[in-house]
Chains A and B, each alone.
Chain A
Amino acid sequence: MSNPELRPRLRLGVVKFASCDGCQLTLLDLEDDLLAIAERVEIVEFPEATSARSAGPYDALLVEGSVSAPEHLEHLARLRRQAKILVTIGACATSGGIQALRNWADHDAFRAAIYAHPEYVHSLATATPIAQHVKVDAELRGCPIDPGQLLELVTALLTGRRPQLRDESVCMQCKRQGAVCVMVAKGIACLGQVTQAGCGALCPRYGRGCYGCFGPREQGNAAGLARFLQSAGKHPREDVGRLFAGFTAYSEPFRSVVTELGGTPGAKPRGDAASAHAPATAQEKR
């Protein structure tokens, strides 16, 4: 067995693109473990937490945020070249985040709605997940990521194995915890059946429907759930559309459901007739 004292510490970077900083903050929120982690990991780049900087190379790089501005493209490509392992953390990085709702909208109208001089705003027409631009080695879902999953990831990086994350739906976690099903008991629309677990079935346990912040499960039948919610008669098409148009809307198959149900609510000014149209992709509108 090699002596861990003699092994060089893992060089970790934590960087961000367009985001709220909440997922990288989750690392600082591991209050009981942070100092122990910092002894085993050399945090060489983490602008939110340290003034020490490194442009690479990194043994592992945690990437938060979505690609949303022109300069992000080149920056991300450079980071990828410096990172042995690149892990996306959170809904913005894995799915585009809430800001990806603009992918269904007219970007110029969005800019003009907020900025007096929209022409000066450096912003891409789309907000897109990291994996659309570079190879990603692993991902943590969630808006925000779950602290337990982050700790598992860091442990896995330190021991050189893949992180063990449960691959199941929110619905399964919810049942296992014995929570009352909000859909059956209260008729509340819930995305738990088609959403990746990780949050501990938080929303149903708080008496509300899952809003999909950990993103779609690969095998989930989102279109089927959307049809079911409407057919039950309780949920108007528009309400179902808004439920899917959340923090991971740009991930398939949620993306197709949102498009099918008329796009995102804010895509057009209120009062305009809603028309179904597909979101722009980064390639089309760049």
Chain B
Amino acid sequence: MNDAVRGETRERRIEVGQLTRVEGEGSLRLFVRDGEVVEARFGIFEAPRYFERLVVGRTPDEVIDIVARICGICPIAYQMSAVHAFEDLFGVRIDPAVRALRRLIYCGEWIESHGLHVYMLHAPDFLGYESALAMAADHRQLVEHGLQMKKAGNDIIKTLGGRAIHPVSVRVGGFYRVPRRDELAALRPALERAHEYAQDTVRWVAGLTIPAFERDMRFVSLRHPAEYPFNDGRLVSNDGVDVAPSAWDTVFEEHQVQGSNALHARSKDGRAPYLLGAPARIALCADALHPTAREALGATGMAERVKTNIFASIVARSVELVHATAEALDIIEAYRPPSEPFTPWRARPGVGAWATEAPRGLCFHRYEVDGEGRIAHCAIVPPTSQNQAAIEADLVVAGQAVLEMSHEAATRHLEHMIRSYDPCISCATHFLDLTIERA
């Protein structure tokens, strides 16, 4: 903490130089004036990689391979948003079995990402460890179950896409190769165990001491009448937004915040910052959860609390682990390979856009395709850059509570809070940059 007296106003800056147990490189600054937290900045110092420019001149199928590399934890989210954007533009109708496999590979990513987050990144905060590896010394079985759950998710991606990170099978119209029934059936024993572990996880996290925090949230997610949202549905909010997934940019926009050169997403009509991800999906789509997941959520008695206390997001993520393991098992049970792995398609010029549900929230892609079927322009809005305004608004509120704490305790508390949003900084980085000093 740096204390400085400037003029009549006593200013204090609380800084966390590098956040740990998050994906990518970020920092946090709180600005305090006269005992009031006046501003919070969730900074990103990850170097930009210019993905929107790298895809210019490429074919749609090349884009699917390239945008996966935005994030090692959620490559499927990028592949899915891109593939649906192109299929929407080209009018490609995918086989129902392909649609089911897309949901299955997304289940795999949610299981892998939530398993990682709940056990390796977030749980150590609640139990007071520096890492899951340190936690394993006292809670070996717990961490092993978390790892085995994560592995079951990775194995789905590996079976469908060849490898757990940056899989190679997704293409416009379907997949390069689809699995046989017996390949998917081989995943069942581990998934059945993972489903049990996920239910244990919900019970366990519901019993953790959740720090106090209370705030009315604005939530945004996809919503589908018959299924929990992955690739399809309507883009909705708890205050009346209801548009097609391709129409994100009719409701929201990106803008540059003065004094923090991060591009934030916001509502065009000036409404409050909004939150994406597991808490938003639970808030908006709990009725579409798999019955086992709905039951697990109900048993916690925390269905309302996950909507107001971001620290309780670990419960929301755990409930989604129950959902994703259950749905994966259902898809595998019902699976019949499609007659062809992909539907042939022809590029047509125009604008294709779509949003899907990354583990950490809505991921929007927009592509302009030219007459030769190449990308002329691209815009990608990852979940973390959309959550950023809500994170900073919440940090101003929560920051007030840490002012009396020691620096170490304050740092731990605020890092714990930021991890609760499951930020994915590598994703956000092609938009965000280090703080600009205020004028």
Query: In A13-63, which residues have CB < 8 Å from any B CB?
Result: 16-26, 28-29, 31-32, 34-35, 38, 43, 46-53
Please tell me if the beta carbons of B168 and A99 are within 8 angstroms of each other in the complex: no
Return B41 CB to nearest CB of chain A, in Å. Answer: 14
Give A70's nearest chain B residue, CB to CB: B47
Residues in A with CB closer than 8 Å to B136 are 35, 38
B238 in contact (CB, < 8 A)? no
Please measure, in the bound complex, the distance between the C-alpha atom of A72 and the C-alpha atom of B48, giving whole angstroms: 12
A122 in contact (CB, < 8 A)? yes
Residues in B with CB closer than 8 Å to A97 are 49, 69
Partner-contacting stretch, out of B71-79, B84-92, B204-212, B287-295: B71-79
| Residue among B24, B69, B120, B134 with the highest chain A CB neighbour number at 10 A | B69
| Residue among B144, B150, B166, B171 with the highest chain A CB neighbour number at 10 A | B166
| Residue among A49, A52, A117, A242 making CB contact with B120, cutoff 8 Å | A49
Query: Chain B 237-257 against A: per-residue CB contact (8 Å), 1 yes, 0 no?
Result: 000000000000000000010
| Residue among A46, A68, A206 making CB contact with B49, cutoff 8 Å | A68
A202 in contact (CB, < 8 A)? yes
Give B376's nearest chain A residue, CB to CB: A270
Give B436's nearest chain A residue, CB to CB: A120
Please measure, in the bound complex, the distance between the C-alpha atom of A206 and the C-alpha atom of B59, giving whole angstroms: 19
Taking residues whose C-beta sits less than 8 angstroms from the other chain, chain A's interface range is 35 or more
Please measure, in the bound complex, the distance between the C-alpha atom of A206 and the C-alpha atom of B58, giving whole angstroms: 21
Please measure, in the bound complex, the distance between the C-alpha atom of A247 and the C-alpha atom of B65, giving whole angstroms: 10
B434 in contact (CB, < 8 A)? yes
Return B335 CB to nearest CB of chain A, in Å. Answer: 18
Please tell me if the beta carbons of A25 and B165 are within 8 angstroms of each other in the complex: yes
| Residue among B52, B75, B121, B154 making CB contact with A113, cutoff 8 Å | B52
Please measure, in the bound complex, the distance between the C-alpha atom of A247 and the C-alpha atom of B133, giving whole angstroms: 32
User: A114-B53, A199-B163 given as contacts; is B426 within 8 A of A20 (CB)?
Assistant: yes
Please measure, in the bound complex, the distance between the C-alpha atom of A46 and the C-alpha atom of B164, giving whole angstroms: 21
A223 in contact (CB, < 8 A)? no
Please tell me if the beta carbons of B168 and A35 are within 8 angstroms of each other in the complex: no
Please tell me if the beta carbons of A206 and B50 are within 8 angstroms of each other in the complex: no
Please tell me if the beta carbons of A31 and B57 are within 8 angstroms of each other in the complex: no
Residues in A with CB closer than 8 Å to B120 are 28, 49
A211 in contact (CB, < 8 A)? yes
User: A25-B165, A31-B148, A121-B433 given as contacts; is B72 within 8 A of A51 (CB)?
Assistant: no
Please tell me if the beta carbons of A18 and B154 are within 8 angstroms of each other in the complex: no
User: A99-B49, A99-B50 given as contacts; is B164 within 8 A of A29 (CB)?
Assistant: yes
B151 in contact (CB, < 8 A)? yes
Please measure, in the bound complex, the distance between the C-alpha atom of A110 and the C-alpha atom of B140, giving whole angstroms: 48
Please tell me if the beta carbons of B69 and A16 are within 8 angstroms of each other in the complex: no
Give A19's nearest chain B residue, CB to CB: B426
Please tell me if the beta carbons of A99 and B54 are within 8 angstroms of each other in the complex: yes
Return A223 CB to nearest CB of chain B, in Å. Answer: 22
Residues in B with CB closer than 8 Å to A202 are 162-163, 168
Please measure, in the bound complex, the distance between the C-alpha atom of A53 and the C-alpha atom of B70, giving whole angstroms: 26
Please tell me if the beta carbons of A21 and B24 are within 8 angstroms of each other in the complex: yes
Please tell me if the beta carbons of B49 and A143 are within 8 angstroms of each other in the complex: no
| Residue among B50, B72, B143, B176 making CB contact with A110, cutoff 8 Å | B50
Residues in B with CB closer than 8 Å to A110 are 50, 53
Please measure, in the bound complex, the distance between the C-alpha atom of A206 and the C-alpha atom of B375, giving whole angstroms: 25
Residues in A with CB closer than 8 Å to B23 are 21, 48
Return B146 CB to nearest CB of chain A, in Å. Answer: 9
User: A21-B24, A51-B21 given as contacts; is B165 within 8 A of A31 (CB)?
Assistant: no
User: A69-B47, A113-B52, A122-B47 given as contacts; is B168 within 8 A of A203 (CB)?
Assistant: yes
A9 in contact (CB, < 8 A)? no
Please tell me if the beta carbons of B47 and A34 are within 8 angstroms of each other in the complex: no
User: A23-B72, A52-B130 given as contacts; is B56 within 8 A of A114 (CB)?
Assistant: no
A187 in contact (CB, < 8 A)? no
Please measure, in the bound complex, the distance between the C-alpha atom of A16 and the C-alpha atom of B429, giving whole angstroms: 14
B367 in contact (CB, < 8 A)? no
Residues in B with CB closer than 8 Å to A21 are 23-24, 71-73, 426
Query: Chain B 163-186 against A: per-residue CB contact (8 Å), 1 yes, 0 no?
Result: 111101101000011000000000
User: A20-B70, A28-B120, A266-B58 given as contacts; is B165 within 8 A of A144 (CB)?
Assistant: yes
Give B48's nearest chain A residue, CB to CB: A123
Query: In A137-163, which residues have CB < 8 Å from any B CB?
Result: 143-144, 146-147
Please tell me if the beta carbons of B48 and A114 are within 8 angstroms of each other in the complex: yes
Please measure, in the bound complex, the distance between the C-alpha atom of A257 and the C-alpha atom of B116, giving whole angstroms: 40
Residues in B with CB closer than 8 Å to A26 are 165
Please tell me if the beta carbons of B426 and A50 are within 8 angstroms of each other in the complex: no
Query: In A64-88, which residues have CB < 8 Å from any B CB?
Result: 68-69, 72
Please tell me if the beta carbons of A144 and B370 are within 8 angstroms of each other in the complex: no
Please measure, in the bound complex, the distance between the C-alpha atom of A270 and the C-alpha atom of B373, giving whole angstroms: 11
Return A219 CB to nearest CB of chain B, in Å. Answer: 25
Residues in A with CB closer than 8 Å to B162 are 202-203, 205-206
User: A102-B54, A120-B261 given as contacts; is B69 within 8 A of A20 (CB)?
Assistant: yes
Residues in A with CB closer than 8 Å to B375 are 270
Please tell me if the beta carbons of A123 and B166 are within 8 angstroms of each other in the complex: no
Residues in B with CB closer than 8 Å to A48 are 20-23
Shortest Cβ-Cβ A-B pairs, 4 listed: A22-B72, A265-B57, A50-B131, A266-B56
A selection of 27 A-B contacts at a CB cut-off of 8 Å is A20-B70, A20-B71, A22-B73, A31-B151, A49-B131, A98-B66, A102-B53, A110-B50, A113-B53, A114-B48, A115-B433, A120-B436, A121-B48, A123-B47, A127-B49, A202-B162, A206-B168, A242-B58, A242-B59, A265-B56, A265-B58, A266-B57, A266-B58, A267-B57, A270-B56, A270-B370, A270-B374
Interface residues of B (CB under 8 A from A): 18-25, 46-50, 52-59, 62, 65-66, 69-73, 75, 116, 120-121, 124, 130-134, 136, 140, 143-144, 147-148, 150-151, 154, 161-166, 168-169, 171, 176-177, 256, 261, 263, 341, 370, 374-376, 415, 426, 430-431, 433-434, 436
**Interface contacts beyond A31-B147, A43-B131, A242-B62: sample of 14 additional A-B pairs, CB < 8 Å, sorted by A:** A19-B426, A31-B148, A31-B150, A35-B133, A35-B143, A46-B131, A48-B22, A50-B134, A51-B21, A111-B50, A114-B48, A143-B69, A146-B163, A207-B341
